Amino acid sequence: MQIVDQSGKNTLPIGVFDSGIGGLTVARELMRQLPDENIIYFGDTARLPYGSKSRDNIIRFSRQIIRFLVSKQAKAIVIACNTASALALDVVKQEFDVPIVGVIVPGARAAVRESVNHRIGVVGTESTIRSQAYTKAIRSMESDAVVIGKACPLFVPLVEEGFAKHNVTGEIIDYYLRDFVESQIDTMILGCTHYPLLRSRIREYLGDRVQIVNPAYEAAMDVKAILEKEQSVNDSGNLARYEFYVSDAAEKFKQFANSILPYDVETIRKINIDEY
Ligand code: DGL
């Protein structure tokens, strides 16, 4: 997408990426909170899952994707992937001129605000949990917080395979979240962009006493603040345009996108991300 703006960068798109469809939950929130902004989304479906990959590879993938989004003139980038936010954000922020927002700090901030007893659970990929990124972010805001993390690697394929409502998903939720039932957490961060697609199942399992936090809303608010600060809010009055790219299996991605987003996506383009 080449959006030419005579007056500056305001109509240029926000670039959003994730390892797959999960980041659409963040894109959906950006569409709700910033309805005038154009968005370019990239899902790295050829290299998913990110959650079990090494830090070096996640940094390499993130650099390539940011280069692609910058080539599309993104005025800001949202790393809508907790794993890439946890492992690559600090590095890529130093390397690119464009503002880059991750989802960990916004998610931690929302959880600290919600929690009354300062006992916070975090579910995420193996890499995100191992990195302790949420624990560090939460403790920097609330030093006495108790953070209990749990990697739930099977949640991503369940979502990618469309098993959100399936019985087997209930058993896997029980397997992973059983320890939280006695843990007295009052807040649970969905620290992987795929997990909001299991939100109602997780809520049902944990009960009303646990607030579920999806970092997407808070991340959208951070993007809004950055655009305002940079004076790059899209105030053209034009209808927002959305474009979607993947590194593999565009048709499958399209079906999911259409079940997650509030409108039907017509075109998903497959690109070779290794060229970037
Ligand atoms: N959706 C990504 C995240 O938020 C990870 C899923 C994956 O393992 O690729 O961490």
Among 45, 78, 81, 160, say which to mutate for ligand 1: greatest number of ligand atoms within 8 Å of CB.
81
| Pocket of ligand 1 contains residue 82 by CB under 6 Å | yes
Q: Which atom of ligand 1 is nearest to the CA of 48?
A: 9
pLDDT of residue 49: 92
Domains 9-102+218-275 and 104-215 alike in fold: yes
Q: Check if CATH label 3.40.50.1860 holds for domain 104-215.
A: yes
Q: Per-residue pLDDT averaged across 122-133, rounded?
A: 97
Note if the bond before 49 is cis, omega within 30 degrees: yes
In the chain, the percentage of residues whose pLDDT exceeds 90 is 91
- Of the candidates 14, 192, 219, 250, the residue annotated as catalytic is 192
| Pocket of ligand 1 contains residue 215 by CB under 6 Å | no
pLDDT band at 8 (very low <50, low <70, confident <90, very high): low
- Of the candidates 30, 74, 79, 81, the residue annotated as catalytic is 81
| Pocket of ligand 1 contains residue 50 by CB under 6 Å | yes
Q: Name residues whose C-beta falls within 8 Å of residue 158's C-beta, 6 or more positions apart in sequence.
A: 164, 166, 168, 169, 172, 198
pLDDT of residue 248: 96
223: pLDDT strictly greater than 80: yes
CB atoms within 10 A of CB 129: 24
* Structural domain boundaries in the chain: 9-102+218-275, 104-215
pLDDT of residue 9: 74
For the question of residue 152 being annotated catalytic, the response is no
Q: Whose CA is nearest to atom 9 of ligand 1?
A: 49
pLDDT of residue 3: 44
- CATH code, residues 9-102+218-275: 3.40.50.1860
pTM comes to 0.94
| Pocket of ligand 1 contains residue 159 by CB under 6 Å | no
pLDDT band at 162 (very low <50, low <70, confident <90, very high): confident
Q: Name residues whose C-beta falls within 8 Å of residue 53's C-beta, 6 or more positions apart in sequence.
A: 47, 61, 83, 127
Among 47, 48, 152, say which to mutate for ligand 1: greatest number of ligand atoms within 8 Å of CB.
48
Taking only the tens place, the pLDDT of each residue in 192-214 is 999 999 999 999 999 999 999 99
Report the distance separating Cα 5 and Cα 43, nearest Å: 26
